[in-house]
Structure 1
Amino acid sequence: MRTPRLLVAAATVVALAACSGGGAVEGTPGGSGVRDPYFPKAGNGGYDIGHYDLRLDYAPDADAGSGAGHLTGTATITARATRDLSAFDLDLKGLDVEEVTVEGRDARFNRAGQELTVRPAEELNDGETFRYSGEPETITDPDDSEEGWLPTADGAVGLGEPTGSMAWFPGSHHPSDKATYDLAMTVPEGLGVVSNGELRDERTRGGRTTFTWHTAEPMASHVVTVAVGEWETARSTTDDGLPVYTAVDPTQADASRKVLKRIPEIMDWARQNFGPYPFSSTGAIVDRDEDAGYALETQNRPYFPGTPDTVLLVHELAHQWYGNSVSPKTWRDMWLNEGFATYAEWLWEEDHGGDTAQETFEALYDGTYYDDEDANDSIWAFPPADPPDAAHISDSPVYQRGAMVLHKIRETVGDDAFRELLHGWAAAHRHGNADTEDFTAYVERSAPDEDFSEIWADWLRGDGRPDAP
């Protein structure tokens, strides 16, 4: 586990709209976690966050040369209480809380794992503040991948799926609680900062530059990112005026140039297949190969460790519709992210001279898709809608067998109706959340004359490889 040598000192302001009048606290605690089946402590009950305002300052260690340094920040969180609260929780991992005040008065608090529980002296109103400091963690997931705050060769990157964002800012870190964001980070002149949304300002004073980013559309915290380093940036637009912003590590610039130029083409193709783009800009971040172990669909501009190929770029951009705009209600519904993005790969290949989706489906079913027999067998390890535990939510069945479910639906309804279904599903839950039951119900409503019971029983929820299709 790579642990960044960073010191954080920050103040967080939480503005909560109370549900009752003034006086002593008579409500109930908000609750730690939303009882996700795989990450039960993720998120928090009793309130809904509407906006984060993150003000961060990063000073790398000039002698380290490995991304180590000093990070300070202030987070202002605007939230709405959904019931009378005597206490509320925030997800914050690996940082020491210095003090908590509520409207200028000291408040009691305690820490338990990733939970910071605040107990104000009076009912929640506005101006709840706490200060914290410590070393942000690189979190090792149940599948042994790393997330959270990752040091890089020339800076650092925050990657959050599924719960890593709690390593560098406090909040309600579950996809069911989306919010808009403003993020401003100050770094030494010569370094750049890339985040989600649109770059609103870049200003240098006294040898330090502040980059201010704004995300106007709701965003789940696991697709929030901030990447600090040396970047070659490019701005352009698609044919219909959508801003495209790319940031590439100089070591990857030559290799990335050709594939990143295809972003407008991919976006046009995706809109035809998935419907209107749900966000106000697009792009990509390309870091060095060794800086992370995976690509991630960070909102507006996916993150890649090393130059992606076209199919991977298609996959992560498709996530902007399926996974980012339509986000899972729980992490059990991960196949609604990855099955759709994987099927987008199949559609792209089909439309651009590669294998048809039917040929890809047959290769997976026949066990000839991968060169490795174990990899082919792994597709049938568990149903895509029911991973056995948190360590398996990103395994092959979630991706490949999830895509196979979609192909079976396409076979049943036909190509035209299937495209309408892709458009309609993205529109029905735009900027919201959905689970597997929502999806199966939507499909059945969209094609009321068809019987999908065998697809749900055998392909979506059944154990092992179904009988020959």
Structure 2
Amino acid sequence: MGVTSALAALTLLLAAPQPGAAGIGDAYYPDYGNGGYDVDHYDIRLHYQPATDELAGTTTLRATTTQALSSFDLDFVLQVSAVQVDGRPARFTRQGDHELVVTPARPLPRHHTMTVRVTYADVPSTALGEGFTVWNRTPDGALAAGEPEIAWWWFPSNDHPKDKATFDVAVTVPDGVEAISNGTMPRPPAPASPGWTTWTWHESSPMTTYAAQLAIGQYDIEQTRAPNGRPVIYAYSRLLTPELAAAARQSVSRTAEIVQWESTLFGPYPFDAEGGVVPPPGVWFGALENQTRPTYAAKEFQRGPDTAVVAHENAHQWFGDAVSLSRWQDIWLNEAFATYTEWLWSEHEGSISAQQNFDELYNGIPADDPMWLLPIGDPGVPPITYEVYLRGAMTMHQLRRTVGDAAFFAILRTWYAEHRGGNATTPQFIALAERVSGKQLRAFFQAWLFTPAKPSVPPTAAGG
């Protein structure tokens, strides 16, 4: 076959409709996300009964095909009653534990804007059985917040950080119950039918699926404005003890102040809203950087006010939310930046300096500790470990010492400016750090990210 004939055959093959891949191509989570399309927008409309944990509704995805599709997958675990593609009924079936395989009535050409509407109803806390669900049933409702997965339990999606989209979320709940999600509240809660109220939220910036949140229950909602007029919305569970409620408010209510300070370091705040959610005690594991409105477990405030966690989760608005992972292997890019911001905040507040934080860890952790044996640039599954946080922050501090303050903060601001709204990888960060600093840094990053050993540092960098 000649070159021209081979090219023609290849063109026909690429144009022929094929099933979309069941995964987006992440080596750590091969079946997370899906191939063949890119989501532009999610329109999620739900009806939730806290007393029984019954969730029903529809999600409409607007997406663009990246290949000609005979079928495609969505990540979802709830029971589906109907699927439509471009207004026509589509066939659907299950594959594996979270794949919903959709076959449209007609094959879809490449670069086609498709509209997919999924109708469903289920009890999320029972989906996939005991021990796997990350849908958190609470005494007064539910909390959907988790990483690396949570979307499966409340909306069908292309569930991987590589595919970001804008969101509209409308949740109908019994009167007297609050429903909180991401972004702004375009309109006040409104009656839906006798005894029911609809809460509406809009996130106008691209968002990863795991950063989408839903908190339903008895919440005190406090609305204010940042100094620049940006809406700030807080939600505190009414089930918090007086002590926990006071400590949470003293911490989370400083969000606007912390965001303004972080903006001086990293660049303009990425989004059109700020805030935070504190759910009931005992229902969640920690804190998460839900876009525009981080979630803070009540236990974060058991010892009193803690603004470090607020600084951490809001740093993620830049590093993790605005600039997101292309692959889960690079989770250090999220956690190192955010944890190091805690150190910078401590220094800003007149407490322990970043250098003191580094010295305490470096001098106090022996060379055979797991901290040094895990290469955080490729940590394996699960990728979210304490080594990624702490060794990651130490890496950031040593980078700062290696290139100097001016270059270090220029690297952070440039990283955000060049990748805002998109995704990026570790090799891109290394290349940018070298470009901005004018230094060769491959050996530095090899030692701190990829070598299972305690890196050596100059004596003055280790308290010597």
Distance 1:130 1:232 in 2: 32
Structure number with higher strand proportion: 1
Q: Which amino acid aligns with 1:255?
A: A
The residue aligned with 2:348 is 351
The residue aligned with 1:108 is 91
Distance 2:292 2:128 in 1: 25
Distance 1:127 1:256 in 2: 41
Distance 1:145 1:278 in 2: 36
Q: Are positions 1:207 and 2:220 aligned together? A: no
Q: Deviations over 1:25-76 (max 9, x none)?
A: 9411111111212111111111100000000011122xxxxxx422111111
Distance 2:119 2:54 in 1: 16
Q: Deviations over 1:231-289 (max 9, x none)?
A: 11111112122211100012243232222332222111100111100000101101122
Stretch moving more, 218-227 or 107-116: 107-116
The residue aligned with 1:170 is 156
Helix, strand or coil: the match of 1:464?
coil
The residue aligned with 2:81 is 98
Q: Which amino acid aligns with 2:20?
A: G
Distance 2:236 2:165 in 1: 27
Q: Deviations over 1:271-314 (max 9, x none)?
A: 01111000001011011220101211111010011154110111
The residue aligned with 1:84 is 68
Go from structure 1 to structure 2 and tell me whether the alpha carbon gap of 1:35 and 1:103 turns closer, same or farther (over 3 Å shift): closer
Helix, strand or coil: the match of 1:162?
coil
Q: Which amino acid aligns with 1:363?
A: E
TM-score (structure 2 length as normaliser):
0.87
Which residues of 2 match residues 282-301 of structure 1 at below 5 A? 282-301=274-293
Give me the CA root mean square deviation.
2.3
Go from structure 1 to structure 2 and tell me whether the alpha carbon gap of 1:104 and 1:280 turns closer, same or farther (over 3 Å shift): closer
Q: Does the 8 A contact of 2:33 with 2:74 survive in 1?
A: yes
Q: Does the 8 A contact of 1:51 with 1:79 survive in 2?
A: yes
Unaligned runs of 5+ in 2: 1-14, 459-464
Distance 1:70 1:136 in 2: 7
Q: Are positions 1:28 and 2:25 aligned together? A: no
The residue aligned with 2:440 is 451
Q: Are positions 1:267 and 2:267 aligned together? A: no
The residue aligned with 1:437 is 427
Shift of 1:140: 9.5
Helix, strand or coil: the match of 1:198?
coil
Go from structure 1 to structure 2 and tell me whether the alpha carbon gap of 1:139 and 1:160 turns closer, same or farther (over 3 Å shift): farther
Q: Are positions 1:460 and 2:443 aligned together? A: no
Q: Are positions 1:134 and 2:126 aligned together? A: no
Distance 2:53 2:131 in 1: 23
Structure number with higher helix proportion: 2
What is the identity percentage for the equivalent residue pairs of Structure 1 and Structure 2? 42
The residue aligned with 2:8 is none
The residue aligned with 2:168 is 182
Q: Are positions 1:330 and 2:316 aligned together? A: no
Helix, strand or coil: the match of 1:403?
helix
Go from structure 1 to structure 2 and tell me whether the alpha carbon gap of 1:406 and 1:468 turns closer, same or farther (over 3 Å shift): closer
Go from structure 1 to structure 2 and tell me whether the alpha carbon gap of 1:179 and 1:145 turns closer, same or farther (over 3 Å shift): farther
Q: Does the 8 A contact of 2:54 with 2:123 survive in 1?
A: no
Shift of 1:406: 1.2
Go from structure 1 to structure 2 and tell me whether the alpha carbon gap of 1:104 and 1:405 turns closer, same or farther (over 3 Å shift): closer
The residue aligned with 2:10 is none
Helix, strand or coil: the match of 2:448?
helix
Structure 1 residue aligned with 2:204, among 197, 216, 231? Answer: 216
Helix, strand or coil: the match of 2:185?
strand
Go from structure 1 to structure 2 and tell me whether the alpha carbon gap of 1:146 and 1:429 turns closer, same or farther (over 3 Å shift): farther
Distance 1:108 1:452 in 2: 52
The residue aligned with 2:296 is 304
Go from structure 1 to structure 2 and tell me whether the alpha carbon gap of 1:285 and 1:241 turns closer, same or farther (over 3 Å shift): same
The residue aligned with 1:16 is none
Shift of 1:110: 2.5
Q: Which amino acid aligns with 2:95?
A: A
TM-score (structure 1 length as normaliser):
0.86
Q: Which amino acid aligns with 1:53?
A: D
Distance 2:275 2:88 in 1: 45
Q: Which amino acid aligns with 1:421?
A: I
